């Protein structure tokens, strides 16, 4: 059985968190972009068969359900699903046949369809989902010509499964071929291949130099990948998906890029929800006394401290900008409405200064940190 066929035998718990984030995000995202009155295109480049052998829906079915519901409210939509494996493609074709939304289901390498997607992207609001099964399946620049449409004012967003741990394991496994006397051979063809996957050379130092724990190296790899994505997307956030809370290594980092701060706040909400669901399942549901780690306790005072800290580095800024920046600096931790409450309280207590009273949310109010004595 191939890796891909095996993968769809049953949905693994960590895949539920990944799908949960996708599903949770799509509902408010679609409601919002439907207002633009442009066709909405969702592309799933690594679609799989649409349904797992245990009956659980895969990403194309999750996407189609959300597209159908916004289509019923009058939006023009298109689902574009690509699967390379011929057996899985047949199943995908069957599983999507009666879904009653406009869609294109294609067999082959997603790179074959980039021109077709790019043409469609001219007139559409586009969401791209990239969920490879191994890190080498996706080169960093594969979708470049679609992301570049951002320069022409198009709305393009991408949710990418960056297989950080898989990346790290794979390149560590090459050490005896790419390191000579402990020196990395920068021009070695294998090194060049992994540069193309990572979108740069930052991984070389992260993996092979310095004194650092392996989990820190993996976190730094994910950070490097996110930073590279910022050449196209103004805002990028990521969420480490784990199997068990105490696992040293995440399965991967789900990484999202958008030009719109509203989209980042929606995705943050989806990631906060996934994190809290995970923590509930590990430490709260079925326990007489909740026993989650201190950093998982939702603490309104900590949210206040976070917005004050952000304000100190940001200086005078609009309410909304402060909230978005606090989100980027504390991703997957508090929702936008929790940050709003924190800002209100901080203004009322004098920990932040504003031209608003802080009694109600005013996204256009100016906020700044008090002068230090």
Ligand X SMILES: C[S@@+](CC[C@H](N)C(=O)[O-])C[C@H]1O[C@@H](n2cnc3c(N)ncnc32)[C@H](O)[C@@H]1O
Stretch that binds ligand X, among 94-102, 131-139, 313-321, 324-332 (CB under 6 A): 131-139
Which string of x and - marks every residue 50-89 that binds ligand X (by CB under 6 A)? --------xx----------------------xxxx--x-
Q: Cα–Cα distance between 271 and 268 in angstroms, integer?
A: 5
Which listed range, 33-41, 128-136, 245-253, 292-300, lies at the site for ligand X (CB under 6 A)?
128-136
Please give the DSSP secondary-structure letter assigned to residue 286. Answer: T
304 lies in the site for ligand X, by CB under 6 A: no
Does residue 4 touch ligand X according to CB under 6 A? Answer: yes
> CB under 6 A: which stretch of 43-51, 68-76, 271-279, 284-292 binds ligand X?
43-51
CB 316 within 8 A of CB 361: no
The reply on whether position 167 binds ligand X by CB under 6 A is no
Report the C-alpha gap between 11 and 15 in whole angstroms. 6
- Rounded CA-CA distance 183/180 in Å is 5
**Residue indicated by tokens 């931790």:** 333
Six token digits for residue 202: 């930052």
Q: Does 191 bind ligand X (CB under 6 A)?
A: no
Neighbours of 219 (CB within 10 A): 19
Nearest to 121 by CA among 173, 43, 47, 192: 43
Among positions 24, 25, 33, 48, the unique one binding ligand X when judged by CB under 6 A: 48
Separation in Å, CA 136 to CA 81, 85, 172, 185, 252: 20, 16, 14, 19, 14
Residue 101 or 347 with smaller CB distance to ligand X: 101
Nearest residue (CB) to ligand X, 273 versus 292: 273
The C-alpha atoms of residue 89 and residue 282 are separated, in whole angstroms, by 36
Q: Is 127 in the site for ligand X (CB under 6 A)?
A: no
The answer to the question of residue 95 lying near ligand X (CB under 6 A) is: no
Instruction: Compute CA 208 distance to the chain's CA centroid, rounded to the nearest angstrom.
Output: 26
Q: Per DSSP, what are the bridge partners of residue 353?
A: 368
Stretch that binds ligand X, among 126-134, 178-186, 268-276, 301-309 (CB under 6 A): 126-134
Among 41, 67, 133, 324, binds ligand X (CB under 6 A): 133
Binding site for ligand X (CB under 6 A): 4, 7, 19, 45-46, 48, 58-59, 82-85, 88, 109-110, 131-133, 137
């Amino acid at each position: 059985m191939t890796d891909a066929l095996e993968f769809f035998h049953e949905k693994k718990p960590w895949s539920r968190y990944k799908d949960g984030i996708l599903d949770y995000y799509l509902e408010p995202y679609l409601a919002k972009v439907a207002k633009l009155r442009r066709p909405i295109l969702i592309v799933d480049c690594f679609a799989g068969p649409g349904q797992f052998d245990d009956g659980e829906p895969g990403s194309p079915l999750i996407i189609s359900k959300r597209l159908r519901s916004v289509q019923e409210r009058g939006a023009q939509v298109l689902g574009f699903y690509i699967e390379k494996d011929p057996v899985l493609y047949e199943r995908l074709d069957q599983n999507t046949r009666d879904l009653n939304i406009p869609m294109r289901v294609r067999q082959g390498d997603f790179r074959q369809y980039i021109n077709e997607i790019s043409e469609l992207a001219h007139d559409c609001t586009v969401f791209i989902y990239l969920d490879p099964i191994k890190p080498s399946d996706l080169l960093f620049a594969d979708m470049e010509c679609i992301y570049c449409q951002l320069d022409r004012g198009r709305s393009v967003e991408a949710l990418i499964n960056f297989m950080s741990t898989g990346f790290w394991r794979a390149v560590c496994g090459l050490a005896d071929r790419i390191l000579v006397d402990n020196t990395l051979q920068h021009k070695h063809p294998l090194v060049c291949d992994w540069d193309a996957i990572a979108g740069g050379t930052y991984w070389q130092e992260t993996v092979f130099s310095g004194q650092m724990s392996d989990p820190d190296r993996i976190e730094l790899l994910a950070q490097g990948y996110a930073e590279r994505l910022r050449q196209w997307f103004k805002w990028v956030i990521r969420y480490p998906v784990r199997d068990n809370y105490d696992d040293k290594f995440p399965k991967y980092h789900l990484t999202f890029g958008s030009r719109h701060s509203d989209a980042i706040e929606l995705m943050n909400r989806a990631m906060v929800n996934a994190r809290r669901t995970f923590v509930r399942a590990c430490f709260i549901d079925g326990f007489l006394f909740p026993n989650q780690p201190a950093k998982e306790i939702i603490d309104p005072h900590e949210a206040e401290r976070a917005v004050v800290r952000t304000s100190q580095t940001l200086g005078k800024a609009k309410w909304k900008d402060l909230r978005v920046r606090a989100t980027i600096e504390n991703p997957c931790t508090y929702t936008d409405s929790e940050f709003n409450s924190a800002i209100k309280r901080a203004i009322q207590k004098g920990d932040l200064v504003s031209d608003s009273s802080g009694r109600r949310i005013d996204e256009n109010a100016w906020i700044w940190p008090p002068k230090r004595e």
